Chain A
Amino acid sequence: MKKLLIIFAFFFFSCSNDVPNPASEDIFDNPLDEEEVEYDLPALTFYPVEVDVAAGTSFGVDVFALGFENLAGTSIRITFDENRITSASIIPGTIFEDAQNDPIFFSEVNMEDGWINLTASFLGSDSASVSTTGSVAQLTFTAVATGDSKIQFGTECEMVDPDDVLLEINGFGEANITAN
């Protein structure tokens, strides 16, 4: 009798299912979701922020600018563990593409010390600027050795408005790379 009751109780209460709760669970974890990121805006971040890759293969990480207003130029220092990953290629992002004027884009890579400098700015009218979240550059790396490493922003990063006035950067994201 007791066993039967347990079986029936199990049957009825097995109808209860788990429902995700955004308030208590970290469901919305897109690093570009301005409402959910843990740091203050405006900020610089990477996408994706977690990369699992096989050693010897390439992977892409985009550099994003979040929540900047009246952005006209940028100079960004990115550092990485040169013993584990190497930079393979760098192409401009989309953040400045919608402007009337063509942007300039420079990149400098130092493989020995493990850093990249990105410089992007509008040419022409000094008043050209964007107020949005968007990709500054698309970076491609190659994992050369197994292990964990990070891609981070350096302290030398600068964001400016059309008048070359520095915009405050309140947060920095980082990308965690796991090479197997």
Chain B
Amino acid sequence: MKKIVTVILFLLVTAVAQDEAAVAPKKSSAKKTVAVFDFESQGIDESESLTFSERFRTEIGNTGAIRLIERKALEKIMEEQGLQQSGCTTDECAAEVGQLLGAQNMINGSIGRIGNSYTVDIKMFSVETGETERTANATYEGEIDGLLVEIQILAWEIVGMEAPTKLKLQREGDTALATLAVMDFEGRGISMGEAQTLTDRLITELSRTKKVILVERSTMSDVLNEQGYETAGCTSDECAAEVGALLGVDLMISGAIGKIGNTYTIDAKMFKVSTGAAENMKNITYQGEVDGLIIEIEILAWQILGLNPPKSLITKKRKGMAALATNTPLPKTKGGAIMRSMFVPGLGQLYGNHGKSGWAYLGSETLFIGLAVMGMNNYNTASTDYDAALVAYREATDIDEIALQKAATNDAISRMDKANSMSLTFSVLAGVVWGASVIHSALVAPNELAHNKTAPLQLAYNPITKNTELTFNFSL
């Protein structure tokens, strides 16, 4: 009996102890109620300081680690107590206000400026004991706008959490880049080769952001092989995290590309290797040719890091397939041949792959223009002689000299006439060759309709505008 009582008591004590142990973490994980005072400003505008305070409140709320007391409630209490936030600078005053608000913790801070540097000092203390629980500070050099990111990061640090990578990447002048590895995207409905190509493009674009240090694909393959995984076999988050830990990277990106009918889906996740927590998740739905996914992947690379994609990418997306087509040679057209021949005779024929006639036109045109230019030069020489002879004739008072200069003048006129005829004749011939070249290029040029057999009037769905459009196309 005694033994039974002892056992029952033991079980009761154990049960109570287990209950208490179960309650204890709940108690410790309960969110604290926190009020944030406006930051003191030293050397910066009051309005700017208020803006930073507001951003701090927003970001500390985003952490989800505390219950934030609204600024209006804080102001109301202060007003009732006949205080102003700027006047309540001592810890005693803050603790008193905190008690009235029913807050467990109060946060106050200051932003100062020394030369081109800004300093931010933030303190969280217990209302009950007045004891400082945590402090955080940052020194920042640069434009004041950059302080916003610092303030946001401090909001995470003051509650004892690590700031998201997105914020760290945004930090201007951050030299400590995060290391990142990208797992090959899982292909569903598309070939493995296509999935790998798109993953490669993602890696290339990620490196272009210059915000992360990427792990070589070969290094990752080695690690996977060492762990006995196929490159395509490591698809679970656990596996990815394990590989990430072995690689010693901060972040991992994994994802999948699927195809349903003409619709493609991209699901990508970036998570912290240390915690396994998802940092950012993106999904994209795309309709169109598989080539168009390249632009989507490129944009995804920026967005998953919390960065704005460059304008060039946005433009490429807007242009859609037309942008992709810029790398492929345009089909030769009749218009193209005519335009070329109009500028340089024979060029249209060369463009239309009629080399012999092209060179013939080009050669004869060059010859005729050359002879025309020669004629003009002869004319100019004769004209100079004419001017000199005529002056000498007019100035002559001797009969013989008059006759001599008159003959020289007439000779110059004769040469001018011949040179002018030569120049005119070959100019006309050059013109004839030019005209013939244009007409000939039009006759022998490739017909653009042979290259593009699509009807000029088309009814089609545009995946970019997401509208069905009636389009009319014609070549210039």
Residue contact A30 to B394, C-beta cutoff 8 Å? yes
Residue contact B397 to A15, C-beta cutoff 8 Å? no
Residue contact B431 to A132, C-beta cutoff 8 Å? no
Q: How far is the CA of A20 from the CA of B387 in the complex (A)?
A: 11
Is A113 positioned at the interface, with any CB of B under 8 Å from its CB?
A: no
Q: How far is the CA of A20 from the CA of B410 in the complex (A)?
A: 9
Residue contact A19 to B413, C-beta cutoff 8 Å? yes
Residue contact B427 to A28, C-beta cutoff 8 Å? no
Residue contact A20 to B431, C-beta cutoff 8 Å? no
Q: How far is the CA of A17 from the CA of B394 in the complex (A)?
A: 24
> Which of A4, A19, A133 is B399 in contact with, Cβ under 8 Å?
A133
Across the interface, which residues of B come within 8 angstroms of A47, CB to CB? 397
Chain B interface residue bracket vs A = 20 to 34
Across the interface, which residues of A come within 8 angstroms of B54, CB to CB? none
User: Interface residues of A, CB < 8 Å — how many?
Assistant: 25
Residue contact A15 to B394, C-beta cutoff 8 Å? no
Across the interface, which residues of A come within 8 angstroms of B424, CB to CB? 13, 15-16
User: Closest CB of chain A to B100's CB: distance in Å?
Assistant: 84
Residue contact A15 to B427, C-beta cutoff 8 Å? yes
User: Closest CB of chain A to B348's CB: distance in Å?
Assistant: 14
User: Could you mark each residue 1-37 of chain A with 1 if its beta carbon is under 8 Å from any beta carbon of chain B, else 0?
Assistant: 0001000110011011101111000011110111000
User: Could you mark each residue 372-413 of chain B with 1 if its beta carbon is under 8 Å from any beta carbon of chain A, else 0?
Assistant: 100110010001001000100110110100100010011001
Across the interface, which residues of A come within 8 angstroms of B413, CB to CB? 19-22
Which of B342, B376, B394, B416 neighbours the largest number of chain A CB atoms within 10 Å of its CB? B394
> Which of B379, B386, B409 is A28 in contact with, Cβ under 8 Å?
B409
Is B271 positioned at the interface, with any CB of A under 8 Å from its CB?
A: no
User: Could you mark each residue 71-88 of chain A with 1 if its beta carbon is under 8 Å from any beta carbon of chain B, else 0?
Assistant: 000000000000000000
Residue contact A19 to B420, C-beta cutoff 8 Å? yes
The residue in chain B whose Cβ has the minimal distance to the Cβ of A29 is: B394
User: Closest CB of chain B to A6's CB: distance in Å?
Assistant: 13
Residue contact A17 to B379, C-beta cutoff 8 Å? yes
> Which of A12, A15, A30, A33 is B376 in contact with, Cβ under 8 Å?
A15
Q: How far is the CA of A16 from the CA of B425 in the complex (A)?
A: 9
Instruction: Indicate whether A8 sits within 8 Å of B399 (C-beta atoms), given known contacts A15-B423, A16-B423.
Output: no
Residues of A at under 8 Å CB distance from B?
Answer: 4, 8-9, 12-13, 15-17, 19-22, 27-30, 32-34, 47, 62, 64, 132-133, 135
Known: A8-B431, A21-B413, A32-B397. 5 other contacts (CB 8 A): A12-B427, A19-B413, A19-B417, A19-B420, A33-B393
User: Can you offer 26 A-B residue contacts whose CB atoms are under 8 A?
Assistant: A4-B342, A8-B431, A12-B428, A13-B427, A15-B375, A15-B376, A15-B424, A16-B423, A16-B424, A16-B427, A17-B376, A17-B416, A19-B417, A20-B386, A20-B416, A21-B413, A22-B410, A27-B409, A28-B406, A30-B393, A30-B396, A30-B402, A32-B397, A32-B402, A33-B393, A33-B402
Residues of B at under 8 Å CB distance from A?
Answer: 342, 372, 375-376, 379, 383, 386, 390, 393-394, 396-397, 399, 402, 406, 409-410, 413, 416-417, 420, 423-424, 427-428, 430-431, 434
